[in-house]
Amino acid sequence: MNDESNSPDIGCGPILPTTSRDAKPLRQQIFEYIRASGLVPRMDVAKALNISAGSVTTLTQELITAGFLQEFEGRARDTARGRPPVALGVAPATRLVVGMKLSDRVHSAVLLDFAGNQLAEASLNSPVLSQHIDIVTDEAETLLVNLMKNAGRPRSDVEAIGLGLPGIVDHDTGHVPWSPVLTERDVNVKAHFEARLGLPVHVDNDANVLTLAELWFGAGRAMSDFAVVTIERGVGMGLVLDNRLFRGGQGLGLEVGHTKVQLDGALCRCGQRGCLEAYVADYALGREASTALNLDGAVATDAGQMLERLYAEAKGGNEAARAIFHRAGRYLAVALANVSQLFDPAKIILSGEHRRFDYFYDEDVLAEMQKLTLGRGRPPTPVESHTWGDLVWARGAAALGLSALTDAVLGEGRVSA
């Protein structure tokens, strides 16, 4: 992501319409189109949504009166010669939302306004792998306090929080059957956070919030169907179909990291065997490295250090280290081929901290993926590797909050000041 994503002329949110737009009130469709466009004249809104100019004028005036939209003189883009028409844009610094990403190393947070502009950021170290829900909630509250202090805004200005964390997450209920950052199982994270923070909290899997970051702020804004595969301490996947995040029939999303690539294979941290994660994630590679590099017990306790050393050894010509990455790359190729075969996305985006380990993204891995994909009559699925800053997960979580808040204040015909 680059700095353009904060420009009011760029906008935020999906650019392309969905086939189910009519499920939303017309004023909400208008608002979301304007927010996605950044700045746009009324005539373009009417053309894009195929509605009358009179309807646009009436409904945008309601949104202006309610404080959601604002007129910008001479700021419309791509206009014909002559005096530029008045552009409409989201009123700045209104309806604040927070996005948080929880992890077992660093928690991060951002504050966005209703237009998607980032107003502040904060982070908090959390070096313990798994903690009790009360401790995690305490850390989140400290993070929120620090964030609002950095923004110079009172906590009461925040209207919603989007929260992303690794593991199996039921977005609709906020129930988390399992997460590596929690010692407990079957926890209603939404209820805990709302009780402590006193704000509406919307929870999702971290791979889903990263996918929302692509859909709202990144390359995915102009794609109706794409997949995001993340590789770091775990392996996650998010999928966009018809310009919307797909969470499955039970709302738990797509756990590509726990698809099986080897029957009765290596032990995964989820407790099962043969998962993709058990061959590709940090802890899996670290487990292999501790044996291949003959590391002592003290060094072998830190998977991150082992992975860095493994990579250095592979780059230095150590054949055992290279073999570990090669095997992991082949398993990743199997997973990517399955994603391509099952969903036929317009693009697969690879992201996550492991992007710096080029063995996961080299030509051999992509060639293996294409070899495993049925190629007759179909072009190969494009695969791209994206570089994001550390706050991308929090921004995606903020998009989760923005979407929910938009539905709350503009859905079902409501317009409140």
Instruction: Please spell the DSSP secondary structure of 180-243, one letter per residue.
Output: TTBSSSSEEHHHHHHHHH-S-EEEEEHHHHHHHHHHHHSGGGG-SSEEEEEESSSEEEEEEETT
Model pLDDT for residues 39-80, shown as the tens digit of each residue: 999 999 999 999 999 999 999 999 999 999 999 986 555 445
Sorting pLDDT into bands at 50, 70 and 90, what band is 353? low
Going by C-alpha positions, the residue among 399, 308, 387 that lies closest to residue 352 is 387
Per DSSP bridges, beta strands 69-72 and 87-90 are antiparallel
Residues 6+ apart with CB under 8 A from 405: 95, 97, 114, 159, 160, 200
Sorting pLDDT into bands at 50, 70 and 90, what band is 295? low
**Residue 254 in contact with residue 304, Cβ under 8 Å?**
no
pLDDT score, position 2: 39
Structure tokens at 85: 């028409």
| pLDDT higher than threshold 60 for residue 417 | no
- What value does the mean pLDDT take over residues 118-144? 93
DSSP 355-373: GG-GGGTSHHHHHHHHHHS
Q: What is the pTM of this model?
A: 0.88
- What value does the mean pLDDT take over residues 170-185? 93
Going by C-alpha positions, the residue among 79, 66, 150, 76 that lies closest to residue 108 is 150
Q: Scan for tokens 């997960």, then name that residue.
A: 393
Q: Say what percent of the chain tops pLDDT 70.
A: 88
pLDDT score, position 7: 47
What is the 3-state composition of the chain as percent helix, strand, coil, each rounded to the nearest 5? 45, 20, 35
Domains of the chain, each with CATH number or no CATH:
3-90 (1.10.10.10), 96-212+391-413 (3.30.420.40), 224-346+353-385 (3.30.420.40)
CA atoms of 151 and 6, how far apart (whole Å): 16
**φ and ψ at 127, to 5 degrees?**
-75, -10
Structure tokens at 51: 């509605």
Average of per-residue pLDDT values in the chain: 87
Model pLDDT for residues 138-157, shown as the tens digit of each residue: 999 999 999 999 999 999 99
pLDDT score, position 3: 39
Sorting pLDDT into bands at 50, 70 and 90, what band is 82? low
